[in-house]
């Protein structure tokens, strides 16, 4: 028996031990070599089980699901640990070797057909030379792939499945079909959810299946009232995103000045003035702080697994200009900024530079009033005189007035000058 024939027989035996394996999406992470594979970690979110909800409750349940999926954007990457790395390393190695082994099997079959077709010797020798050269090339490629182990990206980018990104949520498989479902979705993990009513409240349960373990790696549930939907979604998202990222959670604390400043974290309301340390998945978050009369700030913060990040924000005063509001020959008119009472004429108000403000001046005794949209000066510290002209109230049953250009209304006029 020739050495070449022995090698081919060995390859055929090896081929029977190599299961088929699908390919997953890949990319390249900045901190990884270009030869890494599995650079994207894909999550597929299925339809949640809402069968135990009333028709009105199903609408709420669908809203809860979509809010939860939107918050998964806070996950930037996943940290793969040893068991997951080992699984994908073997998975990719088998796939790579199988490709060459199948090509070699096809060539060997073609060679056997050439021998037994009984063609003229000169034609058979020419065909065998060509196919033997290909067999030698594929054999060398197979040996090289067998010796090389693929490099698995240990921090792949997190991504939702294309179906989820398109607003579609596939029907979940029957119990026991999670592995085939994950492969069909080209996903590394699958999120299952159930929402039902529980004594006038809502009960939500989440379960996360991971392909590398062929089992559920996370399960959590929470009971909450309709009024506390936002807080419940936030709470369950924090633990879920930690499981998705594969990292222990980071912690974020925010202190903002002035004390009435509103704080948002990734567009979600977090509190006023001070936010005590809360758990967040590692990655980049945006902290937005705003307060009346102050310039708002947006700050990007890098959160590291297991670490506490403290953010102190002091808002600067917004540049303002002064506007004098008055009616010639009349004093004591009530001045409203929208629905907010500011005082009586003559009155000087400070407005953010270049802003628009809607004012109403009213004589409480006669009902006469004036309305106008006032434009503040464009330079800080500048002053602008705005003079109104009163008009009598409309007769009973009269039609509603319309909003005119700045400085004029159907029920009063305003004239501005610097």
Assign 395 a pLDDT band (cuts: 50, 70, 90): low
CA distance 388 to 327: 5
CA distance 199 to 218: 26
248 versus 315: which is more confidently predicted?
A: 315
The topology under which CATH files domain 320-417 is: Immunoglobulin-like (2.60.40)
What's the average model confidence in pLDDT over 313-331?
A: 86
119 versus 170: which is more confidently predicted?
A: 170
Look at residue 20 and tell me whether its pLDDT is greater than 80.
no
Look at residue 387 and tell me whether its pLDDT is greater than 50.
yes
**pLDDT, tens only, 353-365:** 888 888 989 888 8
CA atoms within 13 A on the CB side of 283: 25
For residue 139, give the nearest of 251, 11, 266 by alpha carbon. Answer: 11
Report pLDDT for 146.
67
For residue 74, give the nearest of 240, 208, 212, 230 by alpha carbon. Answer: 240
Mean of per-residue pLDDT scores for the chain:
79
Report pLDDT for 10.
44
What's the average model confidence in pLDDT over 242-268?
A: 85
For residue 273, give the nearest of 257, 286, 291, 287 by alpha carbon. Answer: 257
Report pLDDT for 224.
84
CB 79 within 8 A of CB 29: no
Assign 6 a pLDDT band (cuts: 50, 70, 90): very low
Q: How far is CA 53 from the centre of its chain?
A: 27
Report pLDDT for 117.
75
Assign 394 a pLDDT band (cuts: 50, 70, 90): low
269 versus 148: which is more confidently predicted?
A: 269
CATH code, residues 42-77+155-245: 3.40.50.10070
- Percentage with pLDDT > 70 across the chain: 85
Look at residue 408 and tell me whether its pLDDT is greater than 50.
no
Report pLDDT for 396.
63
For residue 408, give the nearest of 350, 358, 344, 338 by alpha carbon. Answer: 358
HEC profile of the chain: CCHHHHHHHHHHHHHCCCCCCCCCCCCCCCCCCCCEECCEEEEEECCCECCCCCHHHHHHHHHHHHHHHHHHHHCCECCCCHHHHHHHHHHHHHHHHHHHHHHHHHHHHHHHHHHHCCCCHHHHHHHHHHHHHHHHHHHHHHHHHHHCCCEECCCCEEEECHHHHCCCCCCCCCCCCHHHHHHHCCCCEEEEEEEEEECCEEEEEEEEEECCCCEEEEEEEEEECHHHHHHHHHHHHHHHHHHHHCCCCEEEEEEEECCCCEEEECCEEEEECEEEEEEECCEEEEEEEECCCECCEEEEEEECCCCEEEEEEECCECCEEEEEEEECCECCCEEEECCEEEEECCEEEEEECCCEEEEEEECCCCCCEEEEEEECCCCCCCEEEEEEEEECCCCCCCCCCCCCCCCEECCEEEEEEC
Look at residue 128 and tell me whether its pLDDT is greater than 50.
yes
Report pLDDT for 289.
92
Map out the domains of the chain as residue ranges: 3-25+81-152, 42-77+155-245, 251-259+273-314, 320-417
Look at residue 413 and tell me whether its pLDDT is greater than 50.
no
195 versus 128: which is more confidently predicted?
A: 195
Q: What backbone phi and psi angles, to 5 degrees, belong to 168?
A: -110, 140
Report pLDDT for 31.
53
Report pLDDT for 402.
36
Look at residue 119 and tell me whether its pLDDT is greater than 80.
no
Assign 57 a pLDDT band (cuts: 50, 70, 90): confident
**pLDDT, tens only, 188-222:** 999 999 999 888 888 999 999 999 989 998 898 88
Assign 418 a pLDDT band (cuts: 50, 70, 90): very low
**pLDDT, tens only, 60-113:** 888 888 888 888 877 888 888 888 888 888 877 777 777 777 787 888 888 788
Assign 288 a pLDDT band (cuts: 50, 70, 90): very high
281 versus 272: which is more confidently predicted?
A: 272
What's the average model confidence in pLDDT over 316-344?
A: 86
For residue 325, give the nearest of 224, 407, 231, 402 by alpha carbon. Answer: 407
Look at residue 270 and tell me whether its pLDDT is greater than 80.
yes
What's the average model confidence in pLDDT over 342-363?
A: 87
CA distance 418 to 402: 27
Report pLDDT for 125.
80
Residues with Cβ within 8 Å of residue 280, at least 6 apart in sequence: 74, 238, 241, 249, 250, 251, 252, 265, 303
306 versus 398: which is more confidently predicted?
A: 306
Residues 166, 171, 172: CA angle, nearest 5 degrees: 120
């Amino acid at each position: 028996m020739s050495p070449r024939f022995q090698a081919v027989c060995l390859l055929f035996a090896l081929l029977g031990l190599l299961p088929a394996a699908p390919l997953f999406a890949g990319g390249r992470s900045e901190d990884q070599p270009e030869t890494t594979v599995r650079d994207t970690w894909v999550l597929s979110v299925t339809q949640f089980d809402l069968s135990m909800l009333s028709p009105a409750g199903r609408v709420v349940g669908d809203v809860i699901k979509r809010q939860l999926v939107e918050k998964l954007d806070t996950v930037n990457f996943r940290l793969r640990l040893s068991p997951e790395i080992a699984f994908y390393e073997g998975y990719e190695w088998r796939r790579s070797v199988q490709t060459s082994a199948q090509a070699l099997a096809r060539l060997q079959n073609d060679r056997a057909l050439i021998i037994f077709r009984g063609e003229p010797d000169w034609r058979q020798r020419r065909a065998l030379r060509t196919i033997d050269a290909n067999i030698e090339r594929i054999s060398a490629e197979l040996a090289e792939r067998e010796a090389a182990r693929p490099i698995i990206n240990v921090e792949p980018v997190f991504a939702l499945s294309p179906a989820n990104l398109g607003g579609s949520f596939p029907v979940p498989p029957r119990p026991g079909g999670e592995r085939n479902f994950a492969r069909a979705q080209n996903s590394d993990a699958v999120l299952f959810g159930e929402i039902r009513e529980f004594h006038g409240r809502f009960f939500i349960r989440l379960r996360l299946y991971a392909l590398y373990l062929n089992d559920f790696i996370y399960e959590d549930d929470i009971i909450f009232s309709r009024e506390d939907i936002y807080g419940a979604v936030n709470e369950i998202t924090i633990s879920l995103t930690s499981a998705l990222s594969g990292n222990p959670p980071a912690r974020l604390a925010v202190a903002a000045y002035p004390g009435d400043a509103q704080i948002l974290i990734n567009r979600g309301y977090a509190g006023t003035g001070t936010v005590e340390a809360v758990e967040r998945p590692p990655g980049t978050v945006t902290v937005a702080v705003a307060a009346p009369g102050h310039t708002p700030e947006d700050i990007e913060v890098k959160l590291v697994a297991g670490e506490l990040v403290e953010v102190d924000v002091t808002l600067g005063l917004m540049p303002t200009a002064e506007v004098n509001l008055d009616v010639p020959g009349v004093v004591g008119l009530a001045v409203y900024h929208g629905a907010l009472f500011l005082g009586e004429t003559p009155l000087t108000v400070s407005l953010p530079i270049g802003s628009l403000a809607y004012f109403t001046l009213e004589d409480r005794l006669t009902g006469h009033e004036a309305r106008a949209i006032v434009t503040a000066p464009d330079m800080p510290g500048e002053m602008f005189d705005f003079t109104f002209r009163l008009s009598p109230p409309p007769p009973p049953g009269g039609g509603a007035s319309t909003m005119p250009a700045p400085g004029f209304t159907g029920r009063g006029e305003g004239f501005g000058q610097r």
